[in-house]
Amino acid sequence: MKKKTHIKKTCIKTPLGPAIIEGDESGITAIKVSDNNREPISENIPDILKDCATQLDEYFKGERRDFCLKLNPDGTDFQKKVWEELLKIPYGTSTSYLELSKKLGDVKAIRAVAAANGKNPLWIVVPCHRVIGSDGSLTGYAGGIWRKKWLLEHENPSPQQSLF
Residues marked active site are found at: 128
Query: Which amino acid makes up residue 39?
Result: E
- Alpha-carbon distance 18 to 94, whole Å? 25
Contact 72, 118 (CB under 8 A): no
Contact 6, 46 (CB under 8 A): no
CB burial readout 84-98, b (16+ within 10 A) else e: ebbeebeeeebbbbe
- Alpha-carbon distance 135 to 47, whole Å? 43
